[in-house]
Amino acid sequence: MQSRSGDRRRQRSEASRSAIIGAARQILSDGGIEAVQVEAVADMVDMSVQTIYNRVGRRSQLLLAVGEQAMEECSQLLGDAFDTQGTPRERAGAIAAAYMTFASEHPSEFQLLANPVDDDARERLGELQRKEVARLAQLLRDAWQSGDMALPSDPTQVAVALWAMMDGIVALRWKATQLHLGQASFEQVSETAVSIMFSGLASKTAE
Return the domain boundaries, the chain. Answer: 1-57, 67-207
Question: Which CATH architecture describes the domain 1-57?
Answer: Orthogonal Bundle (1.10)
Asked if the model's pLDDT at residue 41 lies above 90, the reply is yes
Asked if the model's pLDDT at residue 17 lies above 90, the reply is yes
Task: Note the pLDDT of residue 156.
Answer: 93
- Does 67-207 match 1-57 at the fold level? no
Distances (CA, A) of 194 to 19, 177, 199: 36, 22, 8
% pLDDT > 90, the chain: 40
Of 8, 47, 44, 46, the closest CA to residue 23 belongs to: 44
Asked if the model's pLDDT at residue 123 lies above 60, the reply is yes
Asked if the model's pLDDT at residue 12 lies above 80, the reply is yes
Up-side HSE of residue 204: CA atoms within 13 Å toward CB?
A: 0
- Cα angle for residues 61, 74, 20 (degrees, 5° grid): 35
Burial class from Cβ neighbours inside 10 Å (0-12, 13-18, 19+) for residue 159 reads: buried
Q: Would the pTM count as exceeding 0.85? A: no
Asked if the model's pLDDT at residue 134 lies above 90, the reply is yes
Task: Note the pLDDT of residue 159.
Answer: 92
Question: Which CATH architecture describes the domain 67-207?
Answer: Orthogonal Bundle (1.10)
**What are the pLDDT digits (tens) for 151-184?**
888 999 999 998 988 888 877 766 655 556 666 6
**What are the pLDDT digits (tens) for 188-202?**
877 787 777 777 676
Average pLDDT, the chain: 85
